[in-house]
Amino acid sequence: MTTRCILSAQVSHETHSFSVLKTGFDAYRSRLCHIGADMVKHMSGTATEIAAHLDAAKKYGWELIPTIAAHATPSGPTTAEAWEKLAGTVLAGLETGPVDGVLLALHGAMVTEPFPDAEGELLRRLRERLGPNVPIAITLDLHANVTDEMGEYADFIVPFRTYPHVDQYQVATETAGLLLRTMDGEIRPVTVVARRPTLYGLNHGRTREGPMVEALERAAAIKQADPSVLEIGLCAGFAWSDIPEAGPSVIVTTDNDPEKAQAIADEFADFIWETRKINTVPPLSLEEVGELIAKASAGTGTGPLVIGDTTDNPGGGGYGDSVRLLETIIATGCEKAAMAAIYDPEVAEQAYAAGVGAKIDISLGSKVDPALYGPALKTSATVLKLSETGAFVCDGPMWANVEVRFGRSALLDISGVTVVVASNNIQTTDQQSLKHFGVEPADFNVIGVKSSHHFRAAFEPIAREVVLVDSGGLVSEDFKQFHYTLLRRPIWPIDQDTG
String of DSSP letters for 209-261: SSHHHHHHHHHHHHHHH-TTEEEEEEE---TTS-STT-S-EEEEEEES-HHHH
| Three-state DSSP class for residue 33 | strand
Please, which pLDDT band fits residue 299 given cuts at 50, 70 and 90?
low
Give the mean pLDDT of the chain: 97
Over the stretch 144-160, which tens digit does the pLDDT of each residue have?
999 999 999 999 999 99
Q: Give the C-alpha separation, 378 to 375, whole Å.
A: 9
Q: In degrees rounded to 5, what are phi and psi of residue 32?
A: -160, 120
User: Is the pLDDT at 19 greater than 90, yes or no?
Assistant: yes
Q: Is 36 left (phi over 0), alpha (psi -120 to 50) or beta?
A: left
User: Is the pLDDT at 235 greater than 90, yes or no?
Assistant: yes
User: Between the CA of residue 306 and those of 288, 296, 451, what are the distances in Å?
Assistant: 14, 10, 11
Question: Of 150, 128, 121, which Cα lies nearest the Cα of 137?
Answer: 150
User: Is the pLDDT at 496 greater than 90, yes or no?
Assistant: no
Strands ordered across the beta sheet of 446-449: 359-364, 377-387, 409-414, 417-422, 337-343, 446-449, 305-309, 465-469
Over the stretch 188-200, which tens digit does the pLDDT of each residue have?
999 999 999 999 9
Which pLDDT value is given to residue 278?
A: 98
Which pLDDT value is given to residue 399?
A: 85
Q: Give the C-alpha separation, 136 to 155, whole Å.
A: 5
Q: What are the residue ranges of CATH 3.40.50.2300 in the chain?
A: 5-274
Q: Give the C-alpha separation, 54 to 40, whole Å.
A: 7
User: Is the pLDDT at 300 greater than 80, yes or no?
Assistant: no
Over the stretch 56-66, which tens digit does the pLDDT of each residue have?
999 999 999 99
User: Is the pLDDT at 7 greater than 80, yes or no?
Assistant: yes
User: Between the CA of residue 434 and those of 30, 427, 488, what are the distances in Å?
Assistant: 19, 13, 42
CA 180 distance to own-chain centroid = 27
Please, which pLDDT band fits residue 2 given cuts at 50, 70 and 90?
confident
Over the stretch 80-108, which tens digit does the pLDDT of each residue have?
999 999 999 999 999 999 999 999 999 99
Over the stretch 263-294, which tens digit does the pLDDT of each residue have?
999 999 999 999 999 999 999 999 999 999 99
User: Is the peptide bond preceding residue 493 cis, with omega within 30 degrees of 0?
Assistant: yes
Which pLDDT value is given to residue 297?
A: 81
| Three-state DSSP class for residue 305 | strand
User: Is the pLDDT at 499 greater than 70, yes or no?
Assistant: no
Q: What letter does residue 400 receive in the DSSP assignment?
A: T
User: Is the pLDDT at 311 greater than 90, yes or no?
Assistant: yes
Beta bridge partners of 69: 10, 34
Beta bridge partners of 391: 405
User: Between the CA of residue 255 and those of 171, 259, 419, what are the distances in Å?
Assistant: 19, 11, 53
**What pTM did the predictor assign?**
0.95
Which pLDDT value is given to residue 296?
A: 87
Fold of the domain built from segment(s) 5-274 = Rossmann fold (3.40.50)
| Residues 257-265, mean pLDDT to the nearest whole number | 99
Q: Give the C-alpha separation, 306 to 452, whole Å.
A: 11
Over the stretch 159-203, which tens digit does the pLDDT of each residue have?
999 999 999 999 999 999 999 999 999 999 999 999 999 999 999
Q: Give the C-alpha separation, 311 to 324, whole Å.
A: 11
Contact 232, 157 (CB under 8 A): no
Per cent of the chain over pLDDT 90 is 96
| Residues 46-52, mean pLDDT to the nearest whole number | 97
| Residues 288-306, mean pLDDT to the nearest whole number | 88
User: Is the pLDDT at 301 greater than 80, yes or no?
Assistant: no
Please, which pLDDT band fits residue 328 given cuts at 50, 70 and 90?
very high
| Residues 353-364, mean pLDDT to the nearest whole number | 98
Which pLDDT value is given to residue 475?
A: 98
